[in-house]
Chains A and B, each alone.
Chain A
Amino acid sequence: MAKRRIRVLIAKPGLDGHDRGAKIVARALRDAGMEVIYTGIRQTPEMIAEAALQEDVDVVGLSILSGAHMTLVPQVLEKLREVGMGHVVVLVGGIIPPDDVPKLLEMGVYRVYGPGTPTSQIVEDIRKAVLHSASSAQPEPVP
């Protein structure tokens, strides 16, 4: 009948319009049995947080090629926390200089992926992360 499926939001914040990478990841996750909500390009942090909330996703994947990741990622994380979705696993993919990776992880990003990452790696990471957060999850307090 129905059972729990991993739900992932794939979004492209910022202004660059290159969504090939995001689409490839979205398809790979679908093929791995996940439900992928694809929102397309030019998403604001507010739009991403709102979609994550409405869709009750486990994971948010951000594709950023514009170089604006150090601005956009903290904004998305902030908005996610604002709407009560601070618990979701956040992944970042794109062109990210190595020096920025530790900073992103420090902010709360779960993994950062550069060009050429095998999609199987992303699938595996998501499964591990969601399994972990599901087993340690507390019943959510409702305000």
Chain B
Amino acid sequence: MSLAQALLQGDRRALSRALTWVENAAPEGEELLKALFPHTGKAHLVGITGPPGVGKSTLVNQLARYYRKDHMPPKTVAIVAVDPTSPFTGGALLGDRIRMRDLTGDPGVFIRSMASRGAVGGLAWATGRVAQVLDAAGFDLIFIETVGTGQAEVDIARLAHTVVVVQAPGLGDEVQALKAGILEIADILVVNKADRPGAAEMARTLAQWLPKAEREGEEASSWQPPVLLTTALRGQGIPEVARALEAHRAFLQRTGLWQARERHRLEAEIRERLREALWQTWEAGGGRERLEAMVQAVLQRKMAPQDAVRRLLEASSEQP
């Protein structure tokens, strides 16, 4: 039996091995993704993002628990937790599982940690592909926890159907909420650590300043991101977040935005793959040597980078 078949039949060892192949961009991984592709497109991809230490992992742990134990019927849950890779050593310490120990021993849960491996948008290069594999494996819900983010790591908005931005009191004044970036991608806003002073005020301020910015290319939507208070450590406010997730999913499906986001994501993947393939073809066709010559010319200020590119394009179109 092939690895893809084993995976589709629920073999967890096969799933785990498949994720490694895909994460390492192994040639087998590409074949596998191709075989699995017809089985994708069913899972609800939920991004969980926010600054370090606000309680993202704890919230994911509680949400997964809720969907396994309290939600009727229970949903199967996969979790992809991304932590940063050191830019100096290439190593990483992946610690999100520490907060997810309640989920042990449940075959309806699968947790995978990923190092960002040099990517800077809050995810790893292969996170989207890893999510595809988990989708094919049949998980109903896939939580994707980003690295602790600042204000500009918004790749998750392109990958997830629903983005939950988690904040905690004490991180900044209301001007922070006005800055473009991470708050703008929120479909649901969670103020965690609600037992701390300032949480309710923070939620009020966020709600006030949070008219939804339209994502480019999407019709004006009537979704108003709810601002919810949780104390994830004690499991408080979790059913409300789950209800908001369900409401957002229903909203996306009702308005056709589910399809629109799917389309957007797949088009982006095709573009990325095309770019990669074109570049490889170009390099293999003698582009690398010509590029080196141009770099020298530019380095000596004999040519502007713009002209270098024009010449390179001309040279490759002259190639038979």
Residues of A within 8 A of B (CB): 1-5, 26-27, 29-40, 43-44, 46-47, 50-51, 53-56, 83-85, 140, 142-143
Contact = CB atoms under 8 A, between A and B. Distances in A.
B105 A2 contact: no
Contact of A31 (B6, B89, B110): B89
A142 B24 CA distance: 20
Contacts of B110: 54
Contacts of B263: none
A55 B111 CA distance: 8
The interface residues of chain B, by DSSP majority, are classed as: mixed
A142 to B, nearest CB: 4
Contacts, number: 101
A27 B86 CA distance: 11
Given A2-B124, A55-B112, 12 more contacts: A2-B25, A4-B24, A5-B91, A27-B93, A30-B86, A30-B89, A30-B92, A31-B86, A32-B89, A40-B101, A47-B101, A140-B17
A34 B6 contact: no
A101 to B, nearest CB: 28
A33 B91 CA distance: 4
B20 interface: yes
Interface string B23-50: 1111000000000000000000000000
B280 to A, nearest CB: 12
B98 A38 contact: yes
Given A36-B92, A143-B6, A56 B17 contact: yes
A37 B97 contact: yes
Contacts of B131: none
A136 to B, nearest CB: 17
A32 B91 contact: yes
Given A2-B117, A38-B94, A46-B104, A53 B16 contact: yes
Interface in B70-95: 85-86, 89-95
Contact of B91 (A4, A31, A55, A143): A31
A38 B91 CA distance: 13
Of A37, A38, A55, A85, most B-chain CB atoms within 10 Å = A37
Contacts of A46: 104-105
Contact of B14 (A38, A39, A83, A142): A142
A107 B176 CA distance: 56
Given A2-B23, A143-B11, A35 B98 contact: no
Nearest to A11: B97
